[in-house]
Amino acid sequence: MDSARTGAGRARLGRRADWLTAERLPAYAPELTPVGMLWAGLKTRELANFAGDHLVEVTDATEAGITRICDDEHLPWSFLARTGSEIHHETPPN
C-alpha cells in the first residue's frame, strides 16, 4: 500500500496543504497519459499482430511507429489534448 493511503502519508500531505494539492488517480489508466496514447497508436498499427523473432525487429517497428507519429503535425498534440491536460504551449493551427 502506498504511503499516501496510510496515516503517515496523509499526515505528510497535510503538512504541505498550503502548496500541494493531492489528486486521487486510478491505479492504471493509460488513457490519462500521453505515453499511454502513444502506445495505443503503436499497438493498432506497427505492433498489431506483430511477433518479431528478435528484439531488434520489435525495436525497429516501434521506432518506425514513433517516427510516423512525430511526422504528423497534429497527432502528438492530440495525445495531450485527449488526456484532458492543459496545454500551455502554442498548438499548431488546425
Residue type, 67: T
3-state secondary structure the chain: CCHHHCHHHHHHHHHCCCCCCCCCCCCCCHHHCHHHHHHHHHHHCCCCCCCCCCHHHHHHHHHHHHHHHHHCCCHHHHHHHHCCCCCCCCCCCC
pLDDT at 87: 66
pLDDT at 54: 95
pLDDT at 44: 93
pLDDT at 82: 80
Per-residue pLDDT of the chain (94 residues; tens, 9 = 90+): 455 566 777 777 777 777 777 777 777 777 777 888 888 889 999 999 999 999 999 999 999 999 999 999 888 888 888 877 666 666 555 5
